[in-house]
Amino acid sequence: MHKWNIYSEFDQASKAAADFLAEHILQSVQKKNTCHVVLPGGNTPAKCLAYLAQKKLPWDKIHWYLGDERCYPVGHIERNDVMLEKNLWSKIGKTQVHRIPAELGAEQGAESYRKIMDAIDCIDIAFLGVGEDGHSASLFPDNIALKDRRSVVAVHDSPKAPAERVSLSVQILKQAKCRMLLASGVTKVDVIARIKKGELLPVNRLGNINWFMDEAAAG
């Protein structure tokens, strides 16, 4: 079952999400001396990541991965790792970042990143996002990538630019120990209603999720 945490303002939801993420990072480090965290792209996580960066965490024991990446050149403003570098990685101490080499193209980038993801025991925390069509990472409705059971998949014909992407698969995200998602704004009302009804959207294929959202998104 999804768990719904609703806050009056998006800032409160972002702070609560950061607290939740920090708590689970600490639990993982205490248990096995490391933590593997997947992060989302887009603009929604920026405030949450800024709150996270202010916390005292064992940054050197955390491994960061991306849920997906857009096939743009390194440093392109629309790449997810550029947003993450700006809002988190540049603000914390020594840490371990595993970027998706999407500049190689969808197929080669997926093949390269698959070796990295297949080498870890599991994802401890998958921080996700959701689109108005119910996509998460770069797993879009009716896209053939949904059926690929490998850990990392090439995405072609994305309905959102760019058409070529690299994404973690349904399979590996389902296996994460914990999933969380931050959502905001009235544009998410319709898709959240569909998710609550159990419609088989990509985000509903990933397993139970801890949701953090503002009242505007909750409707």
Tokens of 217: 């998104």
Q: Where are the domains of the chain?
A: 3-185
Which of the four pLDDT bands, split at 50, 70 and 90, describes residue 161? Answer: very high
Of the candidate CATH numbers 3.20.20.70, 3.40.50.1360, 2.60.40.10, 3.40.720.10, the domain formed by 3-185 belongs to: 3.40.50.1360
pLDDT at 93: 84
User: Edge-to-edge strands of the sheet including 68-70?
Assistant: 68-70, 165-168, 152-155
The two structure tokens encoding residue 60: 């050197």
Beta-sheet pairing, 125-128 with 178-183: parallel
pLDDT value of residue 149: 96
User: Which distant-in-sequence residues (6+ apart) come within 8 Å of 178 by Cβ?
Assistant: 24, 124, 125, 126, 210
Q: Is the pTM of this model over 0.75?
A: yes
